[in-house]
Structure 1
Amino acid sequence: MASRNVGRRRADSRGNRRRKLEIPQGHGHGHGHGHGDHVVDTSVVNSDAIVARRVRIVVAAVLIPLILAAVVGMIVMWPGGDVKVASYQTQTVRGEVTALKACKDPDAQCDEATVKLTSGADKGKVVPIQVPKASQTTIPVKVGQSLMLGVIGNAKTLADRYTYVDHDRTGSLLLLAGLFAVAVVALSRWRGFAALIALAVTAVMLTQFILPAILKGENALLVAVVGGTVIMAIALFLTHGINAESSIALSGTVFALGLTVLLGWFFTKFCQLSGLASDGASGAKALVPGIDLTGLLIAGMVIGALGVLDDVTVTQAAAVWELSAANPSANRRELVSAGLRIGRTHVASVVNTLVLAYAGAALPVLLVFAIQGLPGRAVLSTESVAMEIVRGLVGSLGIIAAVPLTTALAAMAVADRSRDLVAEPEHL
């Protein structure tokens, strides 16, 4: 009779699993029972011995070798020495406009600004600078504004040493960055602070490894894959901690990143894209004649998709962890099914965001084509437009693939982690 009751309880539990997964805020089960508005504690999933053992296998077999390979590749390709081209170097200083008047030559389309230098070797000195006339520019120079000036090294006089380059936007950008940092920390607190540090690491990797290595002549695609893997490993572990959940999210990110690379390489070749239509491609080719513009194009696709891949994989891993915390006895099929239901909604919005972002970047080009009245097929076949389409769709395919990949990995890690709970006495 006792064994029959236990069997009945097991059958009832299996029959109710789907309902528990769909309404996790109800009667959840972690290390104890909760009632009413129960807050699911996912830390019990990370500390579960079964989950830890399964994740260790994934980490040892896949994650550690990939991260080590990326670190070794970064060390080997690290750009030694100065990769700058001397003839293209421009020294700049800043100065504040204290007075403004028309140029002496009435035919000259310029104004003469009196600028007090606020940086550089001549800091504090006042110099005359020719700037665009207000009617000749959309953003005119005004008294009190800060300007960025170029330095002519072989000039004989102070008046000839400096030339107008652009408005100095450092203060405005720093204000925006400060507002962003405050908003992130205010909402996410210590995790937000960790995310800001991860963002700083990303900036360092881009400026100190990825860009210099490409300029040095390394394979742009390989540099992007190696740099992207290291960036994601640091960002995920720094922001979300070194635990089972973030390890699974990183595994899903790396797999999706690899697929994005393959798709980018194939469709760049298939669509016959040279990479010359990219902004700055001709200048990069002039500076580094041996650079592979096609590889650079694919590398841009990979780096552009990294942030969204991170978002999708972390969300999917967190969703499966929540489901497992709510129902420890859920099997793999149930977790995958429930996780994919969550992922479908997320992907639908994220993919639209990514495509619109690429479309926004190409908006001036699209506007020119619209003015010319070219037929749609001709516009799509133009490399500048086709390139953005491939960027958006390849990145979106990588995101779509990240959802089932991460969901399946997470479900394998946490499925059926507490089967014995269904055999507990009913009064518990």
Structure 2
Amino acid sequence: MSKKTIVFFIIVVLTFLNCSSVFGEDNIENPKPVRGKVLEIISEEEEETTYAEGQTTTVQVIELKMTSGDHKGEKLIVENYIDSMFAYNIEVEEGDNVLVYLEKDENGEIIKGYISEIVRDKYLIYLVMIFFLLLVIVGGLKGVKSIITLLITAFAVLKVMLPLILKGYNPIYLSIGVSIIVIALTLLIISGFNRKAFAAIIGTSGGVLIAGIITLIIGQLANLTGLGSEEAQMLSLIPQGETFNFKGILFAGIILGALGAVMDVSMSIASSMNEIKIANPSITNKELIKSGMNVGKDIMGTMSNTLILAYSGGSIHLMLLFMAHDFSLVEIINRDMIASEIVRALAGSIGLIFTIPITALVASSLYNKIDKSKKIEE
């Protein structure tokens, strides 16, 4: 990694940190769960429910030991309910680690505890560590750079973009700004300050912006509300919910969803064209563009499938539900939620397609201009 890249990376990280300290404060104060360990299931009794005939509720009386928080080390007896009518219940066994919400009195003494979830984060951390390790083993220095760019992307979204949206800032402008910064940082750190990176940055930015413009136009024409999902409806109920631009949030989601695939296509084309130019310095501008387009066409089909399959995979439960209840195709595609997902997948794919000619034209122009300037100097 060059000195310029390191300096640039440090400046941007410091900028993000500054933004996070100013804007990233929590707006909603919620009680935080503490960790506990199941020491013993004291009793487990099954009883009939009073609200549904033939249904049962299992009541577990559990002894927990707090493993975090102000009451760390203390033991607590809690009740855990397993309802046969619920599709999802929290079933625990001795030795399980759980998250617990504590109800306290004015003096800070525990009145009651509720098990809210099984602790799973340590297994997710193991998975992340394996992922990072494989990146380094297979990719070497490139793998290390990939980890850096992933951390920057996560920081930009979680500590800058989302807190600012909660503050009431326009999600459209935020998503565009964050995307361009992420694109520039990712490609410059991975490839360094060179014509290949600049061509990919312009190509990716162009493709993502086109995807965003298509989303805005079709969203307006199709009257998409951005409130088609249950999560969006829940978001509208929080104190800031009335001021949220839900159409803008839908736009932001589509931009971020398309970003990775579009960046991959743009860098692949720019890199291939760079190698072709190095191997054949005398290649004409027209031939170089044609080569870049051919590379892009080969990538286009699989990447479009990648986007569409990714969004389809995320909606598989919903699609199964519609099929099970024998909804017609007309009913399905006219629902706000489904129409939003279709726009999300197709707008991203169209942006990806436009990335190919944009990157090919920009890369060809940059490569030939540099070569011409070198000849003039000679």
Local SS of the residue matching 1:294: helix
Local SS of the residue matching 2:140: helix
The structure 1 residue matched to 2:40, chosen from 90, 99, 102, is 99
State the Cα distance separating 1:416 from its structure 2 match: 8.4
The question of whether the paired residues in 1 share the 8 Å contact of 2:67 and 2:73 is answered with: yes
Q: Which residue of 2 aligns with 1:266?
A: 217
* Cα separation, 2, equivalents of 1:411 and 1:104: 73
Q: Which residue of 2 aligns with 1:84?
A: 27
Distance 1:317 1:145, change over 3 A: same
Local SS of the residue matching 1:160: strand
Distance 1:78 1:268, change over 3 A: farther
* Cα separation, 2, equivalents of 1:382 and 1:312: 32
The question of whether the paired residues in 2 share the 8 Å contact of 1:77 and 1:213 is answered with: no
Figure out how many residues of one structure are paired with residues of the other and give that number: 349
Instruction: Let me know the Cα RMSD of the aligned residues.
Output: 2.8
* Cα separation, 1, equivalents of 2:16 and 2:148: 23
State the Cα distance separating 1:114 from its structure 2 match: 1.6
The question of whether the paired residues in 1 share the 8 Å contact of 2:33 and 2:101 is answered with: yes
State the Cα distance separating 1:156 from its structure 2 match: 6.9
The question of whether the paired residues in 2 share the 8 Å contact of 1:155 and 1:161 is answered with: no
One-letter amino acid of the structure 2 residue matched with residue 142 of structure 1: E
Distance 1:179 1:405, change over 3 A: same
* Cα separation, 2, equivalents of 1:158 and 1:73: 40
The structure 2 residue matched to 1:235, chosen from 186, 201, 213, is 186
Q: Which residue of 1 aligns with 2:249?
A: 296
* Cα separation, 1, equivalents of 2:345 and 2:105: 47
Is 2:59 aligned against 1:124?
no
Q: Which residue of 1 aligns with 2:4?
A: none
The structure 2 residue matched to 1:362, chosen from 266, 291, 315, is 315
Distance 1:182 1:74, change over 3 A: closer
The question of whether the paired residues in 2 share the 8 Å contact of 1:335 and 1:415 is answered with: no
Q: Which residue of 2 aligns with 1:340?
A: 293
The question of whether the paired residues in 1 share the 8 Å contact of 2:61 and 2:80 is answered with: yes
Greater strand proportion: 2
* Cα separation, 2, equivalents of 1:155 and 1:112: 26
* Cα separation, 2, equivalents of 1:72 and 1:114: 47
* Cα separation, 1, equivalents of 2:282 and 2:178: 39
Q: Which residue of 1 aligns with 2:93?
A: 142
State the Cα distance separating 1:181 from its structure 2 match: 0.5
Q: Which moved more, 1:403-412 or 1:105-114?
A: 105-114
* Cα separation, 1, equivalents of 2:253 and 2:165: 12
The question of whether the paired residues in 1 share the 8 Å contact of 2:277 and 2:288 is answered with: yes
State the Cα distance separating 1:85 from its structure 2 match: 1.9
Q: Which residue of 1 aligns with 2:11?
A: none
The question of whether the paired residues in 1 share the 8 Å contact of 2:44 and 2:61 is answered with: yes
* Cα separation, 2, equivalents of 1:77 and 1:123: 30
Local SS of the residue matching 2:292: helix
The question of whether the paired residues in 2 share the 8 Å contact of 1:93 and 1:117 is answered with: yes
Unpaired stretches in structure 2, ≥5 consecutive residues: 1-13, 49-56, 373-378
Q: Which residue of 2 aligns with 1:20?
A: none
Higher relative contact order (CA 8 A, sep 6+): 1
The question of whether the paired residues in 1 share the 8 Å contact of 2:24 and 2:164 is answered with: no
Local SS of the residue matching 2:98: strand
The one-character-per-residue Cα deviations of 1:119-165 (angstroms, maximum 9, x if unpaired) are: 11111111122224396656621111110112324377855343111
The one-character-per-residue Cα deviations of 1:193-240 (angstroms, maximum 9, x if unpaired) are: 111111111111112211111111111111111111111112221222
State the Cα distance separating 1:103 from its structure 2 match: 4.7
One-letter amino acid of the structure 2 residue matched with residue 84 of structure 1: N
Is 2:283 aligned against 1:330?
yes
The question of whether the paired residues in 1 share the 8 Å contact of 2:273 and 2:292 is answered with: yes
State the Cα distance separating 1:79 from its structure 2 match: 5.5
Is 2:201 aligned against 1:250?
yes
Structure having the higher Rg: 1
Local SS of the residue matching 1:242: coil
* Cα separation, 1, equivalents of 2:45 and 2:109: 19
Q: What TM-score, normalized by structure 1, do the two folds share?
A: 0.75
* Cα separation, 2, equivalents of 1:102 and 1:265: 57
* Cα separation, 2, equivalents of 1:227 and 1:300: 12
The one-character-per-residue Cα deviations of 1:242-289 (angstroms, maximum 9, x if unpaired) are: 222111111111111221221110011121110111342122222221
State the Cα distance separating 1:409 from its structure 2 match: 0.8
* Cα separation, 2, equivalents of 1:121 and 1:366: 45
* Cα separation, 1, equivalents of 2:262 and 2:346: 14
Local SS of the residue matching 2:69: coil
Q: Which residue of 1 aligns with 2:9?
A: none
* Cα separation, 1, equivalents of 2:132 and 2:16: 32
Q: What TM-score, normalized by structure 2, do the two folds share?
A: 0.85
Distance 1:92 1:76, change over 3 A: closer
The one-character-per-residue Cα deviations of 1:96-115 (angstroms, maximum 9, x if unpaired) are: 11211335785553212221
- Aligned ranges 1:308-323 → 2 under 5 Å: 308-323=261-276
Unpaired stretches in structure 1, ≥5 consecutive residues: 1-70, 420-428
Distance 1:73 1:95, change over 3 A: closer
Distance 1:153 1:334, change over 3 A: farther
* Cα separation, 2, equivalents of 1:385 and 1:191: 38
Is 2:271 aligned against 1:352?
no
The question of whether the paired residues in 1 share the 8 Å contact of 2:254 and 2:348 is answered with: yes
